[in-house]
Amino acid sequence: MFEYLPLIAFQIAFAAAGLAILYRIVGGRLFATADAERKTAHDEVLRKAARTSHA
């Protein structure tokens, strides 16, 4: 049983690294899309405020 612990630990670490890479690829795209939408909405608010400002 104990002779398999290094193999099991290696497999867990390898799987965790693979999941981290997958998360960075997929999660990065999802967060980039959300950031772009938030930035667009924020820019629109600033544009409306600039148009209505009489300063």
* pTM of the predicted model as reported, rounded to 2 decimal places: 0.47
Q: What angle do CA 17, 19, 23 make, to 5 degrees?
A: 115
Both tokens assigned to 54: 């009489």
What pLDDT score was predicted for residue 48? Answer: 80
Examine the pLDDT at 55 and tell me if it is beyond 60. no
Overall size of the chain counted in residues: 55
What pLDDT score was predicted for residue 54? Answer: 63
What CA–CA distance (Å, rounded) separates 2 from 40?
Answer: 56
What pLDDT score was predicted for residue 16? Answer: 96
pLDDT digits over 19-44, tens only? 999 998 887 666 666 666 667 777 78
The residue type at 23? Y
